[in-house]
Structure 1
Amino acid sequence: MTAPAPGETYLGTEDGARLAVSVLDPLERGDEDRPPVVLAHGWGGSRRIWSPVTDRLLRRGFPVVAYDLRGHGASTVGAHGVTAAAMSADLAAVVRYAGGAPLVVGHSGGGFAALALAAAPEPDARPVGLVLVASAAHDQDTPENEARMMEALLFSWALRRPTVGRALLRQMTGAALAPRLREVNRQLFAATAPEVRAACFRSSRGMDLRAALADARLPAAVLAGEADRVIRPELGRELASALPDAVFTSIPRAGHVLPLEHPEAVAEAVARIAERAVERARTTWGAEETGTL
């Protein structure tokens, strides 16, 4: 499990989108085997939201591959538009670029793509483990009036005003989040094109991956903020129940933006799942060598 060389690149997709990708290599890998970690951010975000998590992962010796979802940050939309299928295919392309067997961390809508890939993995894009952060496998039917709000001119105008924008997005985060990080969240949401925001929220209508995840037998962690008002924490608990080998963790007083609110909890979950994934790989390899598999 090796990551590509560190640096910045663009991956082309079959529909002409360009996905902006960052590869970061730790200064010291240590003696333990560390799989590359692919980070898929949530809707209205970008690679930037992972910065506190990335710093902690690199210090733990993990190579990190972070990318901007289509239409977000420096990535373009492509001919297929912003759909659930397109975002899952994009993640598969990044997983292949990361070596085909990384650990995948998905926040919110990025978690939807990670779950879709885990439910129907491609031969050369099979995650070795999952960390789902403030995400869900079902019940994401955003009403049309809310989707229209995401692309409304007045809403976008308000998001671009720091004080007003932070107030509009305050319900996304727990009360303890530092003002400077609330501002990061606002900047990212405001920078996302209105039509992309709206398309994202329409893309998850009718999604229910619970039955399909029954065969996703890979180690997983599900994290949810107790005060999350975007994706209810009980949906995270149901997601963990749908996965055959998942552990659910509820974080007191936390909101939806856990990569900024509790980056250490995310990094710790990655370390735990990586350890289990590596041990599982060793056990499988040993069984294949002895013919007991």
Structure 2
Amino acid sequence: MSAPLEAELARETSRELTVRTDDGAELAVTVLAPLAGTAPSVDVVLVHGWAHTRRVWGTVADRLIRSGHRVVLYDQRGHGASTAGRTPVSVERLGADLAAVLGETDARGAVVVGHSGGGFAALSYAAHDPEAGRLHGLVLLGTAAHGQDTPDSEVKMMGNALFSWALRRSWLGGKLLSSTMGKGVDPVALDVNRQLFAATAPHVRAEFFRCTRGWDVREALKKVTVPAVVLHGEGDKVIAPALAEILAETLPGARFEPVPGAGHMLPLERPLLAVSAVAELTSLSSLSPR
């Protein structure tokens, strides 16, 4: 990195930028600098799940910058303020998007934190991207490396106008999505989840939930040796905990941690667990600050 750019990054508190992909998507990105006075640490890149946006990482991002990390978070294509691009949605495409964000933000020695579909993108990047040398750790929340053959009925529901109408009604939308979270969840977190789902275009929800049919990256992951923490809610009804255990067994450097009482939406239900997992990985000697 050049000295002027390094000085610029040191001065920034936060900035918004647009990363343009090779198929014309415009990805809305936020870069948050560590709080003044904190010891510099590694970059952390946060990748949200489907029908969410970077808003879901609010608590996680706040704690990370307080710990000295530079944090990069972005809206996946078609979500939030990001556009869809020209090519069909695929997990490989989402991995390439992550690579573009890492490159444009000069994230080096990064820990990538991926939730659900964001985990799929992180795994695809780690397994296939020639620039994956930028990656030095993975925190994987409520995700898997295979077995995501979403049935037609669920894909149709995600794209259904009546379902979208229901999501915009606070009580009804919360009821419809209650199974995605654990028992006794904070009502505020439950409503944030509903708001994010409601704000995502129906066709985007459907396309993303459809794109993992037949996807299986396990064989390629056997060669990915970066340290990883796999966190999974014991009550997750979206992605089976057994699939997360298989993921942790597949990644040579991973450990698996079940989360009692939690469902699928760990960034909202247990945000501090993600922060602790980043701290665990950054404490390893193989990780060095910027």
TM-score by length of 2: 0.92
Task: State whether residues 174 and 227 of structure 1, in contact with CA within 8 Å, keep that contact through their aligned partners in structure 2.
Answer: yes
Is 1:174 the counterpart of 2:186? The answer is no
Is 1:160 the counterpart of 2:168? The answer is yes
Task: State whether residues 254 and 261 of structure 1, in contact with CA within 8 Å, keep that contact through their aligned partners in structure 2.
Answer: yes
The SS at the match of 2:222 is: helix
1:51 match: 58
Is 1:150 the counterpart of 2:158? The answer is yes
Measured after TM superposition, the shift of residue 42 of structure 1 is: 0.2
2:67 match: 60
Task: State whether residues 147 and 214 of structure 2, in contact with CA within 8 Å, keep that contact through their aligned partners in structure 1.
Answer: yes
Measured after TM superposition, the shift of residue 14 of structure 1 is: 1.1
Measured after TM superposition, the shift of residue 21 of structure 1 is: 0.2
* Alignment RMSD: 1.6
2:260 match: 252
Task: State whether residues 118 and 126 of structure 1, in contact with CA within 8 Å, keep that contact through their aligned partners in structure 2.
Answer: no
Task: State whether residues 22 and 67 of structure 1, in contact with CA within 8 Å, keep that contact through their aligned partners in structure 2.
Answer: yes
CA distance in structure 2 between the aligned counterparts of 1:229 and 1:124, rounded to whole angstroms: 31
Sort the Cα spacing of 1:29 and 1:203 in 2 relative to 1 into closer, same or farther, 3 A.
Answer: farther
Give a deviation string over 1:133-158, Cα, whole Å, max 9, x none. 00000100001121011101111111
Instruction: Please say which of residues 213-222 and 100-109 is displaced more in the overlay.
Output: 100-109
Measured after TM superposition, the shift of residue 86 of structure 1 is: 1.8
Measured after TM superposition, the shift of residue 29 of structure 1 is: 5.8
Letter in 1 for 2:251: L
The SS at the match of 2:34 is: coil
Measured after TM superposition, the shift of residue 275 of structure 1 is: 1.7
**Structure 1 gap segments, 5+ residues each:** 283-293
The SS at the match of 1:128 is: strand
Task: State whether residues 92 and 125 of structure 1, in contact with CA within 8 Å, keep that contact through their aligned partners in structure 2.
Answer: no
Measured after TM superposition, the shift of residue 91 of structure 1 is: 0.7
Task: State whether residues 15 and 30 of structure 2, in contact with CA within 8 Å, keep that contact through their aligned partners in structure 1.
Answer: yes
Task: State whether residues 134 and 224 of structure 1, in contact with CA within 8 Å, keep that contact through their aligned partners in structure 2.
Answer: yes
1:92 match: 99
1:280 match: 286
**Structure 2 gap segments, 5+ residues each:** none
Q: Report 1:1-293 matches (<5 A).
A: 5=12, 6-28=14-36, 30-31=38-39, 33-101=40-108, 102-123=110-131, 126-276=134-284, 279-281=285-287
Sort the Cα spacing of 1:29 and 1:133 in 2 relative to 1 into closer, same or farther, 3 A.
Answer: farther
TM-score by length of 1: 0.91
The SS at the match of 2:138 is: strand
Task: State whether residues 230 and 256 of structure 2, in contact with CA within 8 Å, keep that contact through their aligned partners in structure 1.
Answer: yes
Letter in 1 for 2:277: A
* Number of aligned positions between the proteins: 279
CA distance in structure 2 between the aligned counterparts of 1:97 and 1:241, rounded to whole angstroms: 32
The SS at the match of 1:141 is: coil
Letter in 2 for 1:237: E
Q: Give % identity.
A: 50
The SS at the match of 2:113 is: strand
CA distance in structure 2 between the aligned counterparts of 1:23 and 1:231, rounded to whole angstroms: 30
Task: State whether residues 105 and 111 of structure 1, in contact with CA within 8 Å, keep that contact through their aligned partners in structure 2.
Answer: yes
Task: State whether residues 95 and 127 of structure 1, in contact with CA within 8 Å, keep that contact through their aligned partners in structure 2.
Answer: no
